[in-house]
Amino acid sequence: MIKKILLSASLILMLLNMGMSAGFAQEIPNAYVKVNSLNVRNSADIQSQVIGNVVVGQKLELLEQSGKWSKVRLENGTLGWVYSDYISSSSNTYSQGSASQVVSRGGSRASSLMVVANAKLGAKYSRGSEGPDRFDCSGFVKYVYKEVFGRVLPHSSKEQGQLGSSVPREAVQTGDIVVFATAGSSNINHSGIYLNDGKFIHASSYDGKVLISDMSSGHYYKAFRGARRIE
């Protein structure tokens, strides 16, 4: 009889503990992608392998944060890492419409372009490619402008250097196309997108990837051949 009472008491305590644990269990927070296309990597490193891709408005489970990176679980169960700047806790802050829309509601066109361009940092260089995972220089510029503005630009640095209106070096703004004559050429053969503080983002054949470089001094300062603004 005593054994039965003890067993019953143990069972009740176990059920109570299970209920309390369930009550105190924290919900895993959600995050939402705020750029048109975001790579998911297998570790918190821009050089690590891309194991997936998520799109604007897609819901992720936020599991862990490490520096500027977040560990997430995709809707299909895949675990990976994404750059924290490109996700948000709010599902209403970002447009879930077509890629031609400005990403941030109420945000500037230039900042939207900057976000999308930065999402491709580290993507491999490949001659003749225009994304979404490999680019040459003019293909990268073409991809970003298409994603953010729905504008189809020519896949040519020289032709991109003739679009819109000319902007003097001292007046270049975020989102302007910048063009260069590199490798001793006298003609425009390279293009990128200006960010700020003398920096621009581009797909470099020399470095073999999309990266940010300084055009306020050194090689790209000398190679600079102009900037173009497309309204």
> Is residue 219 annotated as part of the catalytic site, yes or no?
no
Residue tagged active-site, from 120, 134, 190, 225: 190
pLDDT by residue (tens digit) across 99-142?
333 333 233 566 777 788 888 999 999 999 999 999 999 999 99
Mean pLDDT of the chain: 80
pLDDT by residue (tens digit) across 42-74?
998 866 787 887 776 788 999 999 888 999 998
Residue tagged active-site, from 137, 177, 188, 215: 137
Highest mean pLDDT among 63-67, 94-98, 116-120, 221-225: 221-225
**Rounded to an integer, what distance in angstroms lies between the CA atom of residue 231 and that of residue 226?**
17
State the span(s) of the chain assigned CATH 2.30.30.40.
Answer: 30-96
SS3 annotation, 8-39: HHHHHHHHHHHHHHHHHCCCCCEEEECCCEEE
State the span(s) of the chain assigned CATH 3.90.1720.10.
Answer: 114-229
> Is residue 202 annotated as part of the catalytic site, yes or no?
yes
Torsion angles phi and psi, residue 184, rounded to 5: 80, 5
CATH class of 30-96: mainly beta
CATH class of 114-229: alpha beta
Mean predicted confidence (pLDDT) in 7-19: 50
Mean predicted confidence (pLDDT) in 11-26: 48
> Is residue 74 annotated as part of the catalytic site, yes or no?
no
Mean predicted confidence (pLDDT) in 169-195: 92
